[in-house]
Chains A and B, each alone.
Chain A
Amino acid sequence: MGIDALRIEVQCDVSGGLPLFHVVGLPEKEVSESRERIRSAIKNSGLQFPAGRITANLAPADVRKEGVGFDLPIAVAILVASGQIPPLDEDLCLVGELALDGEVRGVRGVLPIAAEAASAGMIVPLANAVEAAVGSQGPVYPVRSLDEARRFLCREIEIAPFAVDCDELMRECTEDIRHDMAEVRGQMQAKRAIEVAAAGGHNLLMIGPPGSGKSLMARCLPEILPPMSFDEALEVTRIYSIAGLLDGPSLVGRRPFRAPHQTISYAGMVGGGHGVPGPGEISLAHHGVLFLDELPEFDRRVLETLRQPLEDRTVLLSRAGVSVRYPSSFTLIAAMNPCPCGYLGDALKPCVCSLVDVRRYRKRLSGPFLDRIDLFVEVPRLSVEDLFHARPADGSDAIRRRVSDARRRQWDRLASEQDCHSNAQLDGEALERHCPLEEDASLLLQRAVARFALSARAHVRILRVARTIADLDGTDDLSAAHVAEAIRYRTAGESLGEH
């Protein structure tokens, strides 16, 4: 359930009487329908579909079963019950959908199943072989057809266990850089903010007119984050496996970048759907970046649902009969225009919005939502000099090295803290302890709190961001310069909070 699989035991009984084929154990529609596929597949594989009454039970019987992966195990159970296959090792795990001609087709969510499979091994569709081998401890036997599975189980043929080189897979999917920070002209301040966001896992809101490079910079973020560890990649791959988004590469080794459209529904964002709820965008962005362009255009209710996952880094979806938990530890990058027309505060183009328009536009973002954003940065329109005479800027490679160093400092420092892996998660007493302020830095912070009437929460945000800036600098103590930069990222957002 969720990203963890549950072992289902398939039992089958063939008895005398009228020919009837039942599947019991809370099957959803697609599992009940499997009866027709299984019957045809068995007949068309040149095997006997036994006469009489057949009952297949999926135990434990009180959990709803969905998905087409039960086709193959039920078919094999029938063949065992009718003596066409010798009794199996009880720990053997099977998964696969059957086509009418007996071909075994790939299914979604094989990776979590593989992780749960015992050392007795598993039989999987050929299409899922790589995925299964990545996650499984035991041997993985890929099959193309029901008859191939039968012959293997009858020991008529040998199937070599499928093996993959996980290191090689990881290398393959992390090689090239797709978006390079060096491509972004100018915008030194915004780039710096992105770097800080990457280094500390902070959420960031960019405010600027259209065409200033907000989207491009956001797209660069996954590439300047340190590469995922294999365990992280496995966790992300599980989510993609469940969502059925795992086509092509069988391992998601690159940090995800999800940029849902503004019209996204609440179920699409946090997860949901028919039957057992599936993962939403926030889970697909796990260990990566969720980019919300044109933030105020999103349905306010959808944005409000993000508040809890942003805090807990996981989301619990409860429905009648089932509740599943998906991880959702992502960095939120949002972008918006300063006003509906986009040119408020622009040096050259006049803004045509009325004050009421601007206020209404900004009111779409609630205070509690904005409270969860650490960094605010203005992304002004590029000047002519920036466009045509841009100084060469740091590429993603160089930035990633700095970010990785800063992250390493955090990990070392936070190793003893529970459930806290980045500065963005620092809180309460731990925050105070890990943010030793130099004297003038402390003074500066006090003055800023008084001058800008900053809330306690804003104060906490500033400390966290200052901590990250110091980490990028490679120092343990927070200097006045670090705090000053952090305050700047805060004050850019203060105007948004005034409704």
Chain B
Amino acid sequence: MSEKTSGERAEAAACDLLRDCGYEIVARNWRTRRGEIDIVARDGPVLAMVEVKARSGQAYGRPEEAVDRAKQRRIVAATRAFLAATGCSLAVRFDVVTFLDGAPRLFRDAFQAGDECSHDS
């Protein structure tokens, strides 16, 4: 196995976590010029766009706090591109998976498109 960054390791762990939760992984690291989606997964009738954040220690705040408004905007932009590219018309939800010192946590419906104040941003 080749050398992996902590981010890639976290994303792989997140995929395992999501599968355990009944998600079906559709795509990973879906990129456009404007932003990136870490994991695209089916959760029943809903398409979940999952952002993964890992942190060791809270010296710079909790990992979920790092998904701030700018980050949310990038994810939303990428999602628009994804929906346009795939022609998918499913209901979309934004989830966040965090690892704090390796401990995972899944935030379902973490934020909404065009939200200004929800989530800890």
Contact = CB atoms under 8 A, between A and B. Distances in A.
Given A17-B83, A18-B76, A18-B83, A36 B118 contact: yes
A29 to B, nearest CB: 13
A16 B90 contact: yes
B109 interface: yes
B54 to A, nearest CB: 24
Contact of A17 (B92, B94, B109, B117): B92
A2 interface: no
Contact of B118 (A15, A39, A51): A39
Given A36-B118, A43-B109, A49-B109, A19 B93 contact: yes
A19 B112 contact: yes
A21 B92 CA distance: 12
Interface string A27-51: 0000000001001000100000111
Nearest to B118: A36
B98 interface: no
Contacts of A20: 112-114
B80 interface: yes
Nearest to A82: B91
A21 B80 CA distance: 16
A52 interface: yes
Contacts of A492: none
Q: For the side of the interface on A, what is the size category?
A: 10 to 19
A36 B109 CA distance: 13
A20 B93 CA distance: 9
A118 interface: no
B89 interface: yes
Contacts of A16: 89-92
Interface in B78-121: 79-80, 83, 89-94, 109, 112-114, 117-118
B74 to A, nearest CB: 14
B40 to A, nearest CB: 13
A17 B113 CA distance: 10
A14 interface: yes
Contacts of B83: 17-18
B64 to A, nearest CB: 16
Given A49-B109, A51-B46, A19 B94 contact: yes
A21 B113 CA distance: 9
B36 to A, nearest CB: 16
Contacts of B109: 19, 43, 49, 51
A51 B79 CA distance: 14
Interface residues of B, number: 17
A386 to B, nearest CB: 67
A21 B89 contact: no
Contacts of A18: 76, 79-80, 83, 92, 113
Given A36-B117, A36-B118, A21 B91 contact: no
Contacts of A53: 91
A15 B112 contact: no
B117 A51 contact: no
A15 B90 CA distance: 8
Nearest to B114: A20
A457 B118 CA distance: 65
A456 B109 CA distance: 76
A15 B114 contact: no
A218 B46 CA distance: 68
Contacts of B79: 18
A49 B109 CA distance: 9
A276 to B, nearest CB: 26
Contacts of A14: 91
Interface centre among A15, A49, A50, A52 (most CB of B within 10 A): A52
A21 B118 CA distance: 12
B34 to A, nearest CB: 14
Contacts of B92: 16-19, 51-52
A15 B94 CA distance: 16
Contacts of A39: 112, 118
A82 to B, nearest CB: 10
A51 B112 CA distance: 9
Given A17-B83, A18-B80, A43-B109, A51 B91 contact: yes
A17 B91 contact: yes
A50 B91 contact: yes
Contacts of A15: 91
A14 B92 CA distance: 11
Interface in A46-86: 49-53
B89 A17 contact: yes
A19 B79 CA distance: 11
Nearest to A49: B109
Interface-central residue, A17, A36, A50, A51, by most chain B CB under 10 Å: A51
Nearest to B95: A51
Contacts of B93: 19, 51-52
Nearest to B90: A16
Among B89, B91, B93, B118, the one with the most A-chain Cβ atoms within 10 Å of its Cβ is: B91
Contacts of A51: 46, 91-93, 109
B118 A52 contact: no
Nearest to B112: A19
A19 B118 CA distance: 13
A22 to B, nearest CB: 9
Given A18-B83, A19-B91, A39-B112, 13 more contacts: A16-B90, A18-B80, A18-B113, A19-B92, A19-B94, A20-B112, A20-B113, A36-B117, A39-B118, A51-B92, A51-B109, A52-B90, A52-B93
16 contacts: A14-B91, A16-B91, A17-B89, A17-B91, A17-B92, A18-B79, A18-B83, A18-B92, A18-B113, A19-B94, A36-B118, A43-B109, A52-B46, A52-B90, A52-B92, A52-B93
